[in-house]
C-alpha cells in the first residue's frame, strides 16, 4: 500500500511533500509526544498527530516515516510545509479525530487482526 | 562582581496546582528564610500575581522577576520574564488573547485565586490556566523577545511538558537565554543527556508549588547588581558574568 492509496481511501488533504506520495506504508504510529515518536516509531509507518510544528517533519525524516496525518482539521505551520516539501515527506490532513482515523487505518492495514462480528 | 542566590521558578495561589499557602506574603517570607536574593514568579499562563510579590519582596531587599510559566500550543512549558510593569501588562494582554476559554468549573483543577499583599482574595480567575495557548513556541518566544524579555524553556529533564518531551529536540531558530533543569538531575548529566554545549546557560530552580519547596534548587548569579539588564547578561554569560545551577539533591 502506498501513501497515495491512503489519500484516496480516506479523502485526505495533501498539504505538502507530494514527491513522497508513492512511499510504501507498512503500519501506523499514534502519538503527540515527539520524543516518543523519536524513540518508538518505525520505518514506513504513517504518523497520526495533532502537532503542527516543524520538528514533526524533521523527526519523520529521521525515522524514515512514510507520511504524517494531521487530525481534526489542523493545518501545518509554514516551516512544517517547507520542511515537508524539502524532505519529500507528505503532510496530509483529515477532519476526523485521532481515534477515528487510526481505527480506519488499522482496519485497512491489518484486516486479519479484526475479528468478524459474533453471530 | 557579586554572587546572588536565585530561584526563578515559583508558583503562587493563582496557579491551580499552587498551594493555598503560596500567598505573596508567605512566598517572600520563605524566600527570605532560604536566603534567596532573586526569585521568579511564574504562574501558569498568567503574570497577574507577580507584581504584588515584587512590591512585597522589594521591602525585604529581594528582587523579583515578574513573568509566567507559559504552556505553548505544543504543551512545552517555558518561563517568560518581562523587564518592567508596562511590558508585563503588554505580555499579559498577549496571554489573555491566546488562552482558550475553558472554565475551571468549581475549581476542579484547584482554585486560581488572585490575592493582595495581605492575603485578601481579589478575584478568582475563571479560565483554566493550565491549558495550552493557541500560540506555538516560536510565536511565544518572539513575543517575549519583542517585549525585551527573557525566555527559558522549563524543566528540560522532565518527561512531560518539556521542550524535549514535546518536540524531540530544540527547534532550529528558537532563541532562549537559558534552559532550566530540575532539582532531580545534575548539571553534568543534563548536558550529557541532551547534548547541551557549555556555552548554553543552565538554570536550576525549584518549580515550587508549596512554601517548603522554595529554594529546593537554586542558581548562583555572578554579576554586578540585580537589574534586569545584569540578569540578562549573566544568563548570556557575558563579560565574566555567569550562572551556576545548584540542583540541590545532587550536591
pLDDT for B195 beyond 80: yes
Query: Which residue of A35, A37, A53 is in closest CB contact with B136?
Result: A53
**Which of B67, B73, B223 has its CA nearest to residue B148?**
B67
Please indicate, yes or no, if residue A82 is contained in any of the structural domains. Answer: yes
Q: What is the 3-state secondary structure (H, E, C) of chain B?
A: CEEEEEEEEECCCCCCCCCCCCCHHHHHHHHHHCCCCEEEEEEECECCCHHHHHHHHHHCCCEEEEEEEEECCCCCEEEEEECCHHHHHHHHHHHHHHCCCCECHHHCCCCCEEECCCCCEEEECCECCCCCCCCCHHHHHHHHHHCCCEEEECCCCCCCCCHHHHHCCCCCCCCCCCEEECCCCCHHHHHHHHCCCCCCCEEECCCECCHHHCCCCEEEEEECCCCHHHHHHHHHCCCCCEEEEECHHHC
How distant is the Cα of A74 from the closest Cα of chain B, in angstroms?
Answer: 12
Please indicate, yes or no, if residue A60 is contained in any of the structural domains. Answer: yes
Please indicate, yes or no, if residue A118 is contained in any of the structural domains. Answer: no
Q: Which residue has the cell 524531540?
A: B168
Residue B251's pLDDT is 43
Residue A119's pLDDT is 63
pLDDT confidence tier of residue B104, bands split at 50, 70 and 90: confident
What is the ipTM metric for this complex?
0.77
**Which of A70, A67, A75, A56 has its CA nearest to residue A28?**
A67
Closest chain A CA to residue B172:
A55
pLDDT confidence tier of residue B249, bands split at 50, 70 and 90: low
- Name the DSSP class of A85: H
Please indicate, yes or no, if residue A43 is contained in any of the structural domains. Answer: yes
- The parent domain of residue B143 ranges over 2-250
Query: Do B164 and A35 count as a contact with CB atoms less than 8 A apart?
Result: yes
- The parent domain of residue A16 ranges over 3-113
How distant is the Cα of B34 from the closest Cα of chain A, in angstroms?
Answer: 36
Query: Do B136 and A55 count as a contact with CB atoms less than 8 A apart?
Result: no
Taking only the tens place, the pLDDT of each residue in B5-42 is 999 999 999 999 889 899 999 999 999 999 999 999 99
Residues 6+ positions from A11 with CB-CB distance below 8 Å: A94
Please indicate, yes or no, if residue A63 is contained in any of the structural domains. Answer: yes
Number of domains in chain B: 1
Query: Which residue of B73, B160, B169 is in closest CB contact with A55?
Result: B169
For the residues B173-202, what does the mean pLDDT come to? 97
Please indicate, yes or no, if residue A57 is contained in any of the structural domains. Answer: yes
Rounded distance between C-alpha atoms, residue B41 and residue B67, angstroms: 6
Rounded distance between C-alpha atoms, residue B87 and residue B89, angstroms: 5
Please indicate, yes or no, if residue A119 is contained in any of the structural domains. Answer: no
Residue A90's pLDDT is 98
Cβ-contact B164, B156 below 8 angstroms: yes
pLDDT for B250 beyond 50: no
More confident of the two residues A35 and B206: B206
Rounded distance between C-alpha atoms, residue B22 and residue B76, angstroms: 24
For the residues B179-184, what does the mean pLDDT come to? 97
pLDDT for A117 beyond 90: no
User: Sign (positive/negative) of CA torsion A70, A73, A79, A85?
Assistant: positive
Give chain A's contact residues with B (Cβ, < 8 Å). 33-38, 51-55, 58-59, 77, 79
- Name the DSSP class of A119: -
pLDDT for B157 beyond 60: yes
CATH number of the domain encompassing residue B121: 3.20.20.140
Taking only the tens place, the pLDDT of each residue in B43-91 is 999 999 999 999 999 999 999 999 999 999 999 999 999 999 999 999 9
Rounded distance between C-alpha atoms, residue B238 and residue A112, angstroms: 63
**Which of A101, A108, A94, A106 has its CA nearest to residue A15?**
A94
Mean pLDDT of chain B: 95
Give chain B's contact residues with A (Cβ, < 8 Å). 73-74, 136-138, 160, 164-169, 171
Please indicate, yes or no, if residue A23 is contained in any of the structural domains. Answer: yes
CATH number of the domain encompassing residue A79: 3.40.1390.20
Residue B106's pLDDT is 67
Taking only the tens place, the pLDDT of each residue in A53-104 is 999 999 999 999 999 999 999 999 999 999 999 999 999 999 999 999 999 9
Using the CB atoms, write b or e for B158-189: b if 16+ within 10 Å: beebbbbbbbbbbbeeeebbbbbbbbbbbbee
Amino acid at each position: 500500500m502506498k501513501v497515495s492509496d491512503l489519500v484516496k481511501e480516506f479523502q485526505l488533504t495533501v498539504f505538502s511533500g507530494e514527491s513522497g506520495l508513492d512511499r510504501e506504508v507498512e503500519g501506523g504510529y499514534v502519538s503527540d509526544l515527539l520524543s516518543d515518536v523519536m524513540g518508538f516509531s518505525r520505518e514506513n509507518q504513517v504518523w497520526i498527530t495533532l502537532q503542527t510544528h516543524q520538528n514533526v517533519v524533521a523527526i519523520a525524516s529521521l525515522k524514515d516515516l512514510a507520511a504524517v496525518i494531521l487530525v481534526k482539521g489542523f493545518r501545518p505551520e509554514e516551516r512544517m510545509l517547507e520542511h515537508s516539501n524539502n524532505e519529500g515527506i507528505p503532510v496530509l490532513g483529515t477532519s476526523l479525530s485521532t481515534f477515528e482515523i487510526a481505527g480506519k487505518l488499522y482496519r485497512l492495514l491489518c484486516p486479519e487482526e479484526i475479528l468478524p462480528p459474533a453471530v | 562582581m557579586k554572587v546572588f542566590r536565585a530561584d526563578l521558578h515559583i508558583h503562587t495561589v493563582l496557579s491551580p496546582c499552587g498551594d493555598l499557602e503560596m500567598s505573596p506574603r508567605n512566598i517572600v517570607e520563605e524566600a527570605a528564610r532560604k536566603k534567596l536574593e532573586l526569585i521568579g514568579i511564574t504562574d501558569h499562563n498568567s503574570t497577574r500575581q507577580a507584581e504584588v510579590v515584587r512590591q512585597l519582596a522589594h521591602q525585604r531587599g529581594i528582587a523579583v522577576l515578574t513573568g509566567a510559566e507559559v504552556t505553548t500550543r505544543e504543551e512545552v512549558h517555558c518561563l517568560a520574564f518581562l523587564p518592567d510593569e508596562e511590558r508585563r501588562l503588554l505580555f499579559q494582554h498577549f496571554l489573555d488573547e491566546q488562552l482558550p476559554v475553558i472554565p475551571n468549573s468549581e475549581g476542579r483543577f484547584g482554585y486560581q485565586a488572585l490575592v493582595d499583599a495581605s492575603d485578601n482574595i481579589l478575584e478568582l480567575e475563571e479560565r483554566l490556566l493550565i491549558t495550552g495557548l493557541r500560540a506555538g513556541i516560536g510565536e511565544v518566544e518572539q513575543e517575549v523577545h519583542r517585549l525585551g524579555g527573557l525566555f527559558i524553556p522549563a524543566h528540560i529533564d522532565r518527561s512531560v511538558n518539556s521542550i524535549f518531551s514535546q518536540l524531540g529536540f530544540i527547534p532550529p531558530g528558537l532563541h532562549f537565554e537559558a534552559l532550566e533543569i530540575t532539582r532531580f538531575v545534575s548539571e553534568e548529566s543534563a548536558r550529557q543527556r541532551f547534548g547541551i554545549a557549555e556555552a548554553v546557560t543552565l538554570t536550576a530552580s525549584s518549580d515550587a508549588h508549596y512554601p517548603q519547596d522554595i529554594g529546593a534548587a537554586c542558581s548562583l548569579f555572578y554579576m554586578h547588581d540585580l537589574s534586569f539588564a545584569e540578569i540578562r547578561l549573566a544568563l548570556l554569560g557575558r563579560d565574566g558574568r555567569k550562572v551556576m545551577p545548584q540542583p540541590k539533591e545532587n550536591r
